[in-house]
Amino acid sequence: MEPVTLSAAAIIGFIFTKVSETLIGKATEAVVIPKINELRQKIVSKLGIYHKAKAEIDKEAQGLQPDLKRLETYLNLAMEEDSQFQEEVSHLADEINQELEAEGKGSNIMNVYGGKAYQQNHNKGKFYNADTINVHEHS
């Protein structure tokens, strides 16, 4: 199976939204939870060197919603500046995605924070971010 390369937006959405908590709750495989924790720690540690990113990470620790777009920007910057870090993050994210897919954790989750929607199809490794949501009903 060809791994899906997740974008920085997808990885940030996974790490800093309720999606990760839901996935951790559903992850029964002993291999998945340590990988999720490792990915999170790696990202938090790396982004902590950027003052504005650290402020957003601290918001989450206080129970507030961080600015995901800002964290995405800093993750992209960190990955651009450090190719080894990019490789490690991408590899871990792909491994987690493959493990979840193998476990058949294929349901959709959508969370809305501050008017922005974050949706993930677990087994597809895709996040859909939207400033607005349009519902089209077909008759």
Domain that holds residue 34: 8-130
Backbone φ, ψ for residue 74 (5° rounding): -70, -35
What was the pLDDT predicted at 25? 60
Give the N- to C-terminal CA distance of the chain in Å, as an integer: 39
How many independent structural domains does the chain possess? 1
Considering only 8-12, 17-21, 121-125, which range has the smallest mean pLDDT?
Answer: 121-125
List, for residues 71-130, the tens digit of each pLDDT value: 999 999 999 999 999 999 999 888 877 776 666 554 455 555 555 665 555 444 445 555
Note whether residue 51 is domain-resident: yes
What was the pLDDT predicted at 58? 95
Higher pLDDT, residue 50 or 134: 50
What was the pLDDT predicted at 4? 46
Residue 58 vs residues 55, 92, 119, 127, 128: alpha-carbon distances, Å: 5, 23, 23, 23, 25
Residue % of the chain over a pLDDT of 90: 32
What was the pLDDT predicted at 1? 38
What was the pLDDT predicted at 33? 76
Note whether residue 75 is domain-resident: yes
Note whether residue 106 is domain-resident: yes
Task: Write out the two tokens for 114.
Answer: 């501050």
> Using an 8 Å Cβ cutoff, are 11 and 4 in contact?
no
Note whether residue 126 is domain-resident: yes
What was the pLDDT predicted at 41? 94
- The arithmetic mean of pLDDT across residues 18-41, rounded, is 69
List, for residues 34-83, the tens digit of each pLDDT value: 888 899 999 999 999 999 999 999 998 898 889 989 999 999 999 999 99
> Using an 8 Å Cβ cutoff, are 14 and 78 in contact?
no
Note whether residue 44 is domain-resident: yes
Note whether residue 102 is domain-resident: yes
